[in-house]
Amino acid sequence: MIKERGLLIVLSGPSGVGKGTVRKELFSQPNTNYEYSISMTTRNPREGEIDGVDYFFKTREDFETLIEQGGLLEHAEFVGNYYGTPLAYVNETLDAGRDVFLEIEVQGAAQIRKKAPDALFIFLAPPSLTELKDRLVGRGTETEDIIAKRIATASEELEMMSLYDYVVENDEVTNACDRINAIIKAEHCRRERVEKRYLSMLRGE
């Protein structure tokens, strides 16, 4: 029997909507059965962030070399810094039959939609734009200028919902996580995915 490839799960949405918090909560649960793909970035580490855990922190030069070498599944420039998903890790994990979870901004998600249309795309939406702004300012880690830029970016991002399969409102982190886990379970039962497995079994593969 052919080993079934894992599912590529893409969680995206506006900056400040709580993607990072939701992702951390999902991965703190004991029954999480998908792997987190650690991103690369050229931004400076925030206090408490660890290289190789939160991100792989890279220089612009190193990042651009990786782009040229085709080492990234997707990449985007976001508020002056590069962010990207290492391709090898994603492919190896999917080939091993494990699901891979990406938490990325919307330009990167749009690139993956083109390259991997059978991935699962989940848009994390804020309960309201006012709340989004409060959360951005409340985080207190960025300057006013950066916050303004992030809010302008977020308004554009909201219009991008149409590229996604599911929208999960982040009213409460635990609710959002429950919905995401339910979506992933349901996605594994989707007829197109299950059918492939049965057909290959019938062919004796």
The yes or no reply on residue 99 touching ligand 5GP (CB under 6 A) is: no
How near is the Cβ of 80 to ligand 5GP at its closest, in Å?
Answer: 10
**Member of 7, 8, 9, 15 binding ligand 5GP (CB under 6 A):** 15
Question: In what order do the strands lie in the sheet containing 40-41?
Answer: 56-57, 40-41, 81-86, 72-78
**Closer to ligand 5GP by Cβ: residue 78 or 179:** 78
Total site size for ligand 5GP, rule CB under 6 A: 15
**Closer to ligand 5GP by Cβ: residue 4 or 25:** 25
Binding mask of the shown chain, residues 132 to 151, with x at each position contacting ligand 5GP by CB under 6 A: --------------------
Output b/e per residue, 32-65; b: 16+ Cβ within 10 A. eebbbbbbbbbeeeeeeeeeeebbbbbeeeebee
The rounded Cα 124 to chain-centroid distance in angstroms is 10
Structure tokens at 114: 């083109």
How near is the Cβ of 28 to ligand 5GP at its closest, in Å?
Answer: 18
Going by C-alpha positions, the residue among 101, 142, 133, 174 that lies closest to residue 17 is: 133
Stretch 162-181 residues interacting with ligand 5GP (CB under 6 A): none
Which segment (28-36, 56-64, 103-111, 184-192) binds ligand 5GP by CB under 6 A? 103-111
Stretch 57-96 residues interacting with ligand 5GP (CB under 6 A): 74, 76, 78, 83-85
In Å, how far are 29, 40, 54, 106, 120 from 155, measured between CA atoms? 31, 25, 26, 12, 23
The yes or no reply on residue 101 touching ligand 5GP (CB under 6 A) is: no
